Structure 1
Amino acid sequence: MFEVQYSRWDIQDGIFKVEYLGQDIEDEIFGVGYSGWNIQGVTSAVLEVHVGTGSVFSVEGQRAVLPAWYTSRSQKKPYVTWLLDKDDADPFQVLTYLDGTVKVEETELKPRVGFLHPVLSHNISLVINVTREGDSGQYMCTVNVVDEATSTGKNVAVINLTVLVPPAVPTCHLHGSPAVGANVTLSCSSEKGKPSPGYQWQRTAPIPQVFFPPAQDRAKGTLKLTNLSLEMSGLYVCVAENRAGSAECSVALEVHTTSAKAVIAGAVLGSLGALATVVFFARRVVGYRRKKRDGQEDVANEIKEDAVAPKTPTWARRPAADTISKTSTLSSIAG
């Protein structure tokens, strides 16, 4: 009695296949009625769970199979549990098999998850239909049999599932004026994709052309075109791509010239505008000074008209006779 060794596994046309000691053994060996494996006189070891791979990748919307099986000498029905451990939540059950009954737990996976084969076939592979990005995580399978012994941890297996998301259709933009001699930047961005998509610009018409750094930034999705010429006109296509797929958008670049007449007209209009501005401000200054001068003259005239002559003392307005009389009187008194 010794432990069965596997060198390769595969699933073809819905049939689970394992290569055992160089010999291909298909799903029939897992059929009901086998007490463990008795192949060419070799009996399997005690209860143990095996996986075909520790990591499974699936594209969103497709089917994912997490390959697992167990070996046991017992004819008792096993107790099988599949749990999902995600980074943002505690582990939870998604699928169980107990007393001959399959139970799909109340999770987002319920309408899409199940066993790929009958559990009694010893093939306990998990299948997820129409995968979603949120299905990604660490799936743990545990098998227990009432009268079967197992080594510590041998009845548990872990498979990591990563659901890839193709890039969404990107958007392309032209930044700048495509005139001869000018510089412009083409940008390309996709709002969705796992892993993050890379971007590749190329000109498809009239002459195919590919671009490389530093003109092109694959991570940011930008393409810088400098010192434009008429020959650089054409259709520029951006492809957003990751492991799950690709999508594209395009920009039609038409490089135009700036005519001499347009330059002269622009210069004339600019000069006229500058002259008009100077005249406008000059008139404002002259008007301001004139208004200020007129205001000062009005104030001076008002001061002259409103001025009051100084009052003459009473004694200064009396007749000279009174003065003489008072003088004579004073003289008489003195004598």
Structure 2
Amino acid sequence: MELPPLLLGASLVLLCFAGLTRSLTITSVDQSTFEKAQGEKVTLPCTFELSEEDEGPLDIEWVLIPADNQKKEQIIIMYSVDRVYNHYYAALTGRMQFTNLDPRSGDGSLDILNLKAADTGTYQCKVKKAPGVQSRKIQLTVFVKPARTKCSIEGSQEIGKDVTLKCVSQEGSPLLSYDWKRVSGTQNLPATSILNKNTGELLLKNASREYSGTYSCVASNRVGTDECSVELNVTPPINTAGIIVGAIIGTVLGLSVLCSIIFCLCKKHKEKKYEKEVHHDIREDVPPPKSRSSTARSYIGSNRSSLGSMSPSNMEGYTKTPYSQVPSEDFERAPAQTPSFAPSKVAAPNLSRMGAVPVMIPAQSKDGSIV
């Protein structure tokens, strides 16, 4: 059966067009998005097939497309003329390589080792073999696992109070999710608890003794989890009034004891000082100070009338007047203020007539001491 001329012409055009368009083809189209954890390894696939018309040299390039469109693409590794060039991108130097040591076999996939969060971006594989040219983009996202998660308690752990359990991860890529669970007891959260998975806070309202126990928090994201725990101990309210009264009483007693000790020390110090000032051992062989001679004389003269009739036999107790009985200088008057009285002279016959009795007066030296 012969085809109509019109259909025959159309078939020839399609065959010619198919022959012209048949060229290099990238076959790895299964996955275009990868999510990995920091420290892991990823293989970005880029397999291809060549056609008979592709007779030029084979070139394979991997480039990093920046998020900012104003920036240029950055070549990270290239295979050209049977040689690998991998010194273009310092951030990946030593951590990347072609999966197949001979990319001419049709595998231009790229391995990236020890992934870092900064490796996140859009990677493009370009395969060239004239006249064929093909490319493919792959989105890589590197997540950081939650780490150094810490649990804490905020609020008073007393019966009837509101207590908040907090959970925070120091490391980890967003979005982080937090979940609390009770480890001890019924392992069910209290009925009054309110959980915020985004902030990691667990609010326990109107806490009771039954809320006591161990609570565990699990922080997670797409690539990993981390966990911490905390011990909650709900106790009866503290008698703050009794504590304050006890503290006041203790303070007062302490001050009283301290004042008593200071008073005793001061009193003892004054007594020692007084003993040093008052206690004097005056020797008989040491003459009194000259400034006291007038006082001694006046004192002896004032006592002459009290001696009465004395004989040598009864003079032993009055031979010397102890200086301890001499009036203190505090009672002396200044020489300028002391009135002087001239002694009156009475004749001996007149004294006898008046009934005077002769008295023997002890001799005195010039300084007032009794000879």
**What TM-score do the two structures reach when normalised by structure 1?**
0.61
- Counterpart code for 1:58: K
Cα deviations across residues 283-313 of structure 1 (Å, max 9, x unaligned)?
A: xxxxxxxxxxxxxxxxxxxxxxxxxxxxxxx
- Counterpart code for 1:98: S
User: Is the alpha carbon distance of 1:213 and 1:90 closer, same or farther for their aligned partners in structure 2, counting shifts above 3 Å?
Assistant: farther
The answer to whether structure 1 residue 115 and structure 2 residue 98 are counterparts is yes
Whether the 8 Å contact between 2:192 and 2:205 is mirrored in structure 1 is no
The answer to whether structure 1 residue 54 and structure 2 residue 32 are counterparts is yes
SS at match of 1:169: strand
How far apart, in 2, do the equivalents of 1:192 and 1:237 lie?
18
Q: In the alignment, which residue of structure 1 is the partner of 2:236? A: 257
Moved more, 70-79 or 247-256: 70-79
Query: How big is the shift at 1:198?
Result: 0.4
Cα deviations across residues 196-245 of structure 1 (Å, max 9, x unaligned)?
A: 21000111013312479970000010001111111111111111011111
- Of 143, 151, 154 in structure 2, the residue corresponding to residue 175 of structure 1 is 154
Q: In the alignment, which residue of structure 2 is the partner of 1:81? A: 61
Q: In the alignment, which residue of structure 2 is the partner of 1:32? A: none
How many residue pairs align between the two structures?
223
Whether the 8 Å contact between 1:200 and 1:240 is mirrored in structure 2 is yes
The answer to whether structure 1 residue 102 and structure 2 residue 84 are counterparts is yes
Q: In the alignment, which residue of structure 2 is the partner of 1:241? A: 220
- Counterpart code for 2:242: A
The answer to whether structure 1 residue 199 and structure 2 residue 178 are counterparts is yes
SS at match of 1:231: helix
How far apart, in 2, do the equivalents of 1:160 and 1:230 lie?
52
Query: How big is the shift at 1:169?
Result: 2.2
The answer to whether structure 1 residue 163 and structure 2 residue 142 are counterparts is yes
How far apart, in 2, do the equivalents of 1:223 and 1:85 lie?
42
- Counterpart code for 1:189: V
- Of 66, 70, 91 in structure 1, the residue corresponding to residue 48 of structure 2 is 70
- Of 86, 102, 126 in structure 1, the residue corresponding to residue 110 of structure 2 is 126
- Counterpart code for 2:26: V
Query: How big is the shift at 1:171?
Result: 1.3
* Identical residues among aligned pairs (%): 29
- Structure 2, unmatched stretches of 5+, are 1-20, 250-371
Whether the 8 Å contact between 1:59 and 1:244 is mirrored in structure 2 is yes
Query: How big is the shift at 1:266?
Result: 4.8
Whether the 8 Å contact between 1:96 and 1:102 is mirrored in structure 2 is yes
How far apart, in 1, do the equivalents of 2:190 and 2:56 lie?
65
SS at match of 1:123: coil
- Counterpart code for 1:114: Q
SS at match of 2:104: helix
How far apart, in 2, do the equivalents of 1:173 and 1:217 lie?
15
Whether the 8 Å contact between 2:180 and 2:215 is mirrored in structure 1 is yes
Whether the 8 Å contact between 2:190 and 2:204 is mirrored in structure 1 is no
| Aligned pairs (5 A) from 1:1-335 | 45-51=22-28, 52-73=30-51, 74=54, 76-87=56-67, 90-104=72-86, 105-117=88-100, 118-146=102-130, 148-150=131-133, 155-210=134-189, 215-258=194-237, 262=239, 265-266=242-243
SS at match of 2:139: strand
Whether the 8 Å contact between 1:50 and 1:157 is mirrored in structure 2 is no
Moved over 6 A (4+): 211-214, 269-272
Q: In the alignment, which residue of structure 2 is the partner of 1:35? A: none
SS at match of 2:90: coil
Question: Which of 1 and 2 has greater Rg?
Answer: 2
**Which is strand-richer, 1 or 2?**
1
SS at match of 1:205: coil
How far apart, in 2, do the equivalents of 1:157 and 1:144 lie?
12
Whether the 8 Å contact between 2:157 and 2:163 is mirrored in structure 1 is yes
Whether the 8 Å contact between 1:82 and 1:96 is mirrored in structure 2 is yes
How far apart, in 2, do the equivalents of 1:213 and 1:165 lie?
34
